[in-house]
Copies of this chain bind each other. A is one copy, B any other.
Amino acid sequence: MLPADLASTVARALAEDLGSGDLSAALIPAQRQLQAHIISREAGILCGQPYVNECLRQVDPNITIHWLHSEGSIIEAQQELCRLEGPAAALLTAERTALNFLQTLSGTATLTRRYVEALSGTPTQLLDTRKTLPGLRMAQKYAVRIGGGRNHRLGLFDGILIKENHIAAIGSITKAIARARALAPVLCKIEVEVETLEQLEEVLAVGVDLILLDNFSIEQLQQAVRRVAGTIPLEASGNVRLETIRTIAETGVDFISVGSLTRNLQSLDLSLRYL
């Protein structure tokens, strides 16, 4: 699913770069044409084609782009990713913003793929979180999907996660779940975050759609999995790293969510060169 805010996200990125206009591209004679290609400088997962396409379209619909690899492909270093052609001034204006999207989203998809590979062979699914770069939530959630991960929820509007502080403000886990059941839209799931096995018991007594085990040790996770015995899906979270995710998955939890997928960024190194 392409994010519904794709066009406005691109428009905003172009606006902040262009401001009142591109002073340097204005030096170029209007009729000049250019050809260019984008080259990978390191290996990774290619992600962001719809953002690049939209960016070029907004700057000048006369720019054409031909992709040599499909969205989500595994890319090696020094591969040609696409070919571009069009008015020289427009290409130079769009270049940086297009690359910024491609290297950012490919970076997130690439990291996601590494976590997914660390889980390979287990039934556990990798989830993202709401710890994202401000303004890029939907784009990053998209990159997580392209990388093979799964979205937890997109925001506060499409799922209920009752955390410690919601419980404190409402009074008890039981009361919070009861309110959620009465008020939530029918197609919305309810998840409760627990920090101890005692809280887990309280949730099990009432029932919910999903349980988040926050910062549980491996032993606690194992106990929780045994206790719940498949009746309710379990999600583990808290300081998960590439080195630890497989051990966590082997406790038998259904989902593991990883904040650093989207709150940190190692962008993929790319280069646009003119031919």
Contacts and interface: CB of A to CB of B under 8 A. Distances in A.
A154 B13 contact: no
B26 A4 contact: no
A15 B138 CA distance: 11
A19 B17 contact: no
A9 B89 CA distance: 22
A48 to B, nearest CB: 10
Interface in A2-30: 2-5, 9-10, 12-13, 15-29
A186 B151 contact: yes
Copies of this chain, count: 6
A150 to B, nearest CB: 6
Given A100-B134, A104-B133, A155-B17, A166 B210 contact: no
A210 B188 CA distance: 11
10 contacts: A1-B21, A17-B137, A24-B161, A34-B165, A51-B134, A101-B134, A103-B131, A151-B185, A164-B274, A188-B188
Nearest to A100: B134
A53 interface: no
Interface stretch (A115-123, A168-176, A224-232): A168-176
A16 B93 contact: no
Interface stretch (A61-69, A75-83, A263-271): A263-271
Interface string A74-100: 000000000000001100110011011
What does DSSP make chain A's interface, helix, strand, loop or mixed? mixed
A188 B186 contact: no
B23 A1 contact: yes
A56 B41 CA distance: 41
A205 interface: no
Contacts of A17: 130, 137, 155-156
Nearest to A12: B135
A184 interface: yes
Contact of A188 (B9, B92, B176, B189): B189
A34 B187 contact: no
B136 A96 contact: no
A27 to B, nearest CB: 5
A57 interface: no
A153 interface: yes
A216 interface: no
A162 B27 contact: yes
A104 B132 CA distance: 9
Interface string A27-64: 11100101000000000000000010000000000000
Contacts of A263: 100, 103-104, 265, 267
A16 B137 contact: yes
